[in-house]
Amino acid sequence: MAGLCEGRVVVVTGGGRGLGREHCLLFAKEGAKVVVNDLGGSVSGEGAELSPAQQVVKEITAAGGQAVANGDDISDFNGAGRMIQQAIDTFGGLDVLVNNAGILRDKMMVNMTMAEWDAVIKVHLTGTFCPMHHAANYWRQNAKNGGTNDGRIINTTSISGLFGNPGQLNYAAAKAGIAAMTIVASRELSRLNVTCNAISPGAFTRMTENLMPKRDLKPGEFDRQNPANVSPMVVWLGSAESKDVTGRVFETMNGGFGTYNGWERAAREKFDRRLDPKEMGPIVTRMLEQTHPLQKIG
């Protein structure tokens, strides 16, 4: 039986470990040809080694799949371009881009340095834009040349960016930006037959092991925090079946799945004159009575 993504060419950033590794393995199992990108750095983004990506490639090829490793820095414009070009040169095209790579440098705002802010924004936000830019240009040129696209972009946001989490101002800002980028990209790319969606994952990985309680699983118990639980949604979004789904954010955590609604107007009052600031108190009170309380993580 053919896999769900049979013959599709997929690029996964941060594919050497954690969630990215599981995405790569499942895409390959479903018949995709995979470019496993990983700079091989630490959780905080320091250092580099290609071996994590190479190990995933080794696992895929040993199982009869097709994959190549890539060690480019996806937050570098030219590096991201080389990664996309490698997929095209190696496998003849590009169908799916999964932006998964990320780092953490958590600090309370009053203690956060510019270096800690810049590093996280660069990897998450710039590191999502650069691959998207080069992939979109490939699909645009393909359409101009008379080709047919069935493209997919799957970005990675976070509940920290959707709801806010103290100690993660840099990370939350980047992840909220990625959710907004997803919506904009979905609208810009629809004419090219390319969809763009995002996931908000939750799993026990090296990035979250210090943020989540220690697991104490009984024999045979389903591990709700296994990162492999997230990948079925990612692979489905990368398949031909998802062609009518775009601009959405999906929750993929705790062994389940969900959908999110973004910013939506809860209340509005309109006036035919300029108001005095002293009049605003009762107006704001009335509007907040029609607005849901701020949702918190947990």
Range 62-91 average pLDDT: 98
The predicted model scores a pTM of 0.90
Task: Determine, yes or no, domain membership for 4.
Answer: no
Residues annotated as catalytic (active site), given as ranges? 171
How many domains does the chain contain in total?
1
**Tens of pLDDT, residues 149-165:** 999 999 999 999 999 99
Q: How confident is the model at residue 286 (pLDDT cuts 50, 70, 90)?
A: very high
Task: Determine, yes or no, domain membership for 1.
Answer: no
Confidence (pLDDT) at 239: 97
**Whether the predicted pLDDT of 215 surpasses 70:** no
Determine the structural domain holding residue 176 and report its residue range.
9-266
Return the structure tokens found at 172: 């939350």
Confidence (pLDDT) at 41: 59
The domain that contains 189 carries what CATH number? 3.40.50.720
Task: Determine, yes or no, domain membership for 19.
Answer: yes
**Whether the predicted pLDDT of 213 surpasses 70:** no
Confidence (pLDDT) at 221: 74
**Whether the predicted pLDDT of 8 surpasses 90:** yes
Task: Determine, yes or no, domain membership for 249.
Answer: yes
Check: CB of residue 256 under 8 Å from CB of residue 242: no
Q: Which residues have C-beta within 8 Å of that of residue 275, sequence separation ≥ 6?
A: 283
Check: CB of residue 64 under 8 Å from CB of residue 47: no
